[in-house]
Structure 1
Amino acid sequence: MTLPLNDLLPAQLRRSWAADGTCPDLDLYSLYRSHQIADAHRTALIDAKGKLCYTALDRKVRSLAAGLAELGIRPGDVVGVQLPAGRNAVIADLALAALGAVALPFPVGRGVREAASLLRRSQAVAVITVTEHRGCHLADCLLALEDELPGLRTVIAAGPPDTVPEGSVPLSRLLRTDPTAFRPARPDPDTAVRILVSSGSEAEPKMIAYSHNALAGGRGNFLASLIPEGGRPPRCLFLVPLASAFGSNGTAVALARHGGTLVLLDHFTPEAALDAIARHEPTHVLGVPTMIRMMLDRLAEAPRTLPSPTALVLGGSVLDAATAEEARQVFGCPVVNLYGSADGVNCHTGLTEQPVGAEGPGVLAGHPDPRVADIRIAVPDAPALEEVPAGVVGEIVARGPMTPLCYVGAPELDSRYRTTDGWVRTGDLGLLDKDGTLRVVGRLKDIVIRGGANVSPAEVEVELASHPLIRDVVCVGVPDPLMGERLAACVVPRDGRAPTLEELGAHLDGRGLERRKHPERLLVLDALPLTPAGKPDGAALRERFATPVPQTA
């Protein structure tokens, strides 16, 4: 039985964006094919195996689609995709879109139990995964869970032939299927094509269904606003996994909508990222601030001349003013602060020179673009959407062409986060200035409650990031028997010498932050741990405080 993925937006509103040209009103595979026909030999992607042009990629896509159809994959079926960023991930994306199926990508670093949870809750009928990743035999492990996943009919394994486990279908065999008889499904552009998975801060990651129009239209308009007028098709270096929510801007947006080129790393390292910039001259580099800080550190150790991209597009965690300015100087291009989430919100600072640390609370996120997502500020937890005045902090809500259909298999999340007329409650706190500029202040659920008083870790992170001895910082709440919770600062030093708690307190005093908001625990690290999606791993940092590790307090 196919899981229902109903659109919670009013149908006439969704249709109006197609009618006025805001959304292309074509399925992703048809959009891709139009670029292939227009420029057959343009480079579609560059990965560790080399280059693939649009025509060579399309041949592989049609072969895989034909092979999946022979396995019984039908329109509306959900298929999990757990592959590193590379050609196979892009081929799978487009093949499933061509079939009218729904892709459920998730990064290879997610554990087997979490993968099984995603597949079970989405009622996936198949999964395409690697035979091995960092010692974990993923295909074998998923085959062993067949009793827990009765709906999972097929495990498709990508890897050398001698590593493909018995009982699975080799991906290499499907890629050799004769593509000539395949006929694309041409699905309704307002139906589901991809399920985005949240970064995992919940007990179980949320799954959010997106349509062809929401990805190619809404998210496509986001990238379009960062392409200079008359500029060539984008050449996008993705430092984040394509299987992450941020990475969903790859196949659907950079390729299908804009006819660009993807430059892909199967695993991020600062050296690999810098080499890719030098060799492939991307127009856009998409990553999280921590990755850019690691690259800046490497350039400080071993300076080199690099071509300047059109923009660095950074999201996923707080971008501080010092990092933004250093990156702008070193890479010689605008640094775009992207505020967005899998739940359906997007806003960015654009190709401007305005510093992200401009005067005001929180972090500057730019002017909302109604061709992507209209953004308003509402009273948190109010039964109906009730807006607050300009300059007043409230919950950020969004609705627009990129708004997703619904949460997957979770009507309780639809009830909690979606209004009756389709607005998404993000759970983020922010305000709109009188000129309409959005500033993001923190997270409702991430508030640390210390002795009954609320402290926003994001607010403290922004102020600590300006300390001259700090290269990277994340603040988390840790349990305390007396106060309930205390705030802990997890710090990566800039030049080897870490600040003390007392020095951090003095700095925050100078920034005008109340004493009750100062961190009371300090953990010094060589680098922040990252989730499989490339974001700082808050759960892992909290665990460090639950075990006896060297730390300053």
Structure 2
Amino acid sequence: MTLTLNDLLPAELRRSWVVDGTCPGLDLYSLFRARQIADLHRTAVLDAKGKLCYTALDRKVRCLATGLRALGVAEGDVVGVQLPDNRNAVIADLALAALGAVALPFPVGRGPLEAEGLLRRAEAVAVIAATDHRGSRHAADLRALVPKVPSLRTVVAVGPGPAPEGTTPWTDLLRSDPGGFVPARPDPDSAVRILVSSGSEAEPKMVAYSHNALAGGRGNFLASLVPDGKPPRCLFLVPLASAFGSNGTAVTLARHGGTLVLLDHFSPDAALAAVREHRPTHVLGVPTAVRMMLERLDTTDGALPAPTALVLGGAPLDETTARAAAEAFGCPVVNLYGSADGVNCHTGLGSKVPPTSTSGTVAGRPDPRVAEIRIAAPETHEPLPDGEIGEIVSRGPMTPLCYVGAPDLDARYRTPDGWVRTGDLGRLDADGVLHVVGRLKDIVIRGGANISPAEVERELRSHPEVRDAVCLGIPDPLMGERLAVCVVARGEEPPTLEALGRHLAAAGLERRKHPERLLVVAEIPLTAAGKPDRAILRERLTGGPGATRHGVSGAVPLARTP
């Protein structure tokens, strides 16, 4: 079964980027193989098991690809991957690329309810998952989904521990003889990876990327932060399965021949230890992770070895965090504005602390070798003059093919000539620098992870004690934002925050999506257009001018668990 994924960019544009050298015009496995041949024993991965060189990694990749092919995984098939950040996730990425298959990674910790929707909509034929990770039994949970997902045939279970009944052990596949394996040679402009982004939809969006869009467009983003051109050593503090993490296998290894430094699970102490021990050239994470690291930093251990850059994205970066991080890490802090939908812009290495502006977040000067950015009128999509605020739209070498199984999203977020509508508001100043001033779409970014209020609201409204619910983000110095819920009770006794959490857990929503503050209101205030007035609700939650309007019948304070 092969999922149809149409490229919404004009074909002549894609070809022009290969002709002028912007994109490599090779599939990811071929790029990786060339890097392996060029430096056989360079370290590819550093994880809890130690070092893994390019040649040893390639052998494991070929073994896995041989085993998956024997199970019937073919070119164009979609295969889900739910693994922690270690060498196994990298092996899976490259093996699927070698088969010409399409990887659909999603982070460990995501519950089976969300996984079912992803696998079904992507028509996945197989999924590779951990048997046990921090108490989550992903392989067993996903095996239970096989009767519910018509396309799903195979679940590969990755240890530790025995493989659940009905799954295929990863270790068996790695014993395959790779001697006769012949890799596929897929079109470099065909799909190789599906990025998952919660965005502002009730269900996570899935975005299909080609080999060229990852290695070329996203690869050029990292190239701009490698001033000496030497292979980078990148410490990822975000999941490889995230959009930010797609700069791991495809970009750091296949495009740049570098080294991945990986943590199975983020903790500030483990991250600081990795910086000291492995001396990465680039540390990539979200502002929340760095704030946690700064809180735990013990200066008596001496100064941290200075990377080339600390690259922070996924959530707004405040000046206080940027200055503290620049001082502690002794390197430029790069503010990255980007998303799975196909936009990327950053502030570069020109200053230690990203520039600031009173009219929005400074996101840097767009790089046309990554993504051209313009400002358009939200309704007509017509370009606006420099200085005017409008919707940020993007098109370039990193632009994805399309949304997966969602023609409605293609119609909503892609223009007829291939531009991606971000849903964000911004302006370009006279120097061509992008300023991000707000969001048209309403998502909550908690510690760099996107939470869809629509998804949580939908489940909360099914609670027997809830008549109406509106979720929104409120500022938080550690996490950036936290999710709050405003509830109209159905009876005289309003539900507690704990009761709402239990209800969401029973519905299959993981803990990160549970509200951390509850505000009980007599009614939901509405705007003139008849929509919930989130601005007034946010004022009430934060103690602003609206806090005394319309009356509040009860509140639960913000939880402080990160």
* TM-score of the pair, normalised by structure 1: 0.84
**Matches of 1:173 and 1:518, distance apart in 2:** 64
Q: Matched residue pairs, number? A: 489
Residue of structure 2 equivalent to 1:204 = 203
Shift of 1:359: 2.7
Residue of structure 1 equivalent to 2:560 = 526
Residue of structure 2 equivalent to 1:248 = 246
Alignment CA distance shift 1:223-1:473 (3 Å): closer
Contact 2:539 2:547 in 1 (8 A): no
Does residue 138 of the first structure (1) align with residue 138 of the second (2)? Answer: yes
**Matches of 2:135 and 2:143, distance apart in 1:** 17
RMSD after superposition: 2.5
Contact 1:474 1:489 in 2 (8 A): no
Alignment CA distance shift 1:346-1:516 (3 Å): farther
Alignment CA distance shift 1:69-1:330 (3 Å): same
Shift of 1:441: 1.4
Q: How does 1:101-500 map to 2 (within 5 A)?
A: 101-160=101-160, 162-199=161-198, 201-228=200-227, 230-299=228-297, 304-353=302-351, 355-356=353-354, 358-382=356-380, 385-446=381-442, 470-471=477-478, 473-474=480-481, 478-479=485-486, 480=521, 481=523, 483=525, 484=532, 485=534, 486-488=536-538
Shift of 1:332: 0.3
What is the CA deviation profile of residues 183-239 of structure 1, one whole-angstrom value per residue up to 9, with x for unaligned ones? 0111110000000000465311000000000000000000000001x3421000000
Residue of structure 2 equivalent to 1:71 = 71
**Matches of 1:247 and 1:240, distance apart in 2:** 6
What is the CA deviation profile of residues 496-515 of structure 1, one whole-angstrom value per residue up to 9, with x for unaligned ones? xxxxx67xx6xxxxxxxxx5
Give the letter for the 2:365 counterpart. H
**Matches of 2:405 and 2:270, distance apart in 1:** 38
Does residue 82 of the first structure (1) align with residue 82 of the second (2)? Answer: yes
Residue of structure 2 equivalent to 1:534 = none
What is the CA deviation profile of residues 98-150 of structure 1, one whole-angstrom value per residue up to 9, with x for unaligned ones? 11000000001110111111000000000000112332322112222222112
Residue of structure 1 equivalent to 2:16 = 16
Alignment CA distance shift 1:482-1:206 (3 Å): closer
Contact 2:331 2:352 in 1 (8 A): no
Q: How does 1:498-517 map to 2 (within 5 A)?
A: none
Identify unmatched segments of 5+ residues in structure 2.
445-471, 487-520, 526-531
Q: Percent identity?
A: 68
**Matches of 1:373 and 1:523, distance apart in 2:** 42
Contact 2:61 2:95 in 1 (8 A): yes
Residue of structure 1 equivalent to 2:463 = none
Alignment CA distance shift 1:475-1:522 (3 Å): farther
* TM-score of the pair, normalised by structure 2: 0.83
Give the letter for the 1:185 counterpart. A
Alignment CA distance shift 1:472-1:113 (3 Å): closer
Give the letter for the 1:54 counterpart. Y
**Matches of 1:8 and 1:297, distance apart in 2:** 45
Q: How does 1:25-64 map to 2 (within 5 A)?
A: 25-64=25-64
**Matches of 1:525 and 1:444, distance apart in 2:** 27
Secondary structure at the aligned position of 1:163 is classed as coil
Alignment CA distance shift 1:425-1:180 (3 Å): same
Residue of structure 2 equivalent to 1:497 = none
Alignment CA distance shift 1:256-1:68 (3 Å): same
What is the CA deviation profile of residues 257-305 of structure 1, one whole-angstrom value per residue up to 9, with x for unaligned ones? 0000000001000000000000000000000000000000001686542
Contact 1:337 1:348 in 2 (8 A): yes
Alignment CA distance shift 1:472-1:107 (3 Å): closer
Shift of 1:388: 1.6
Shift of 1:477: 6.6
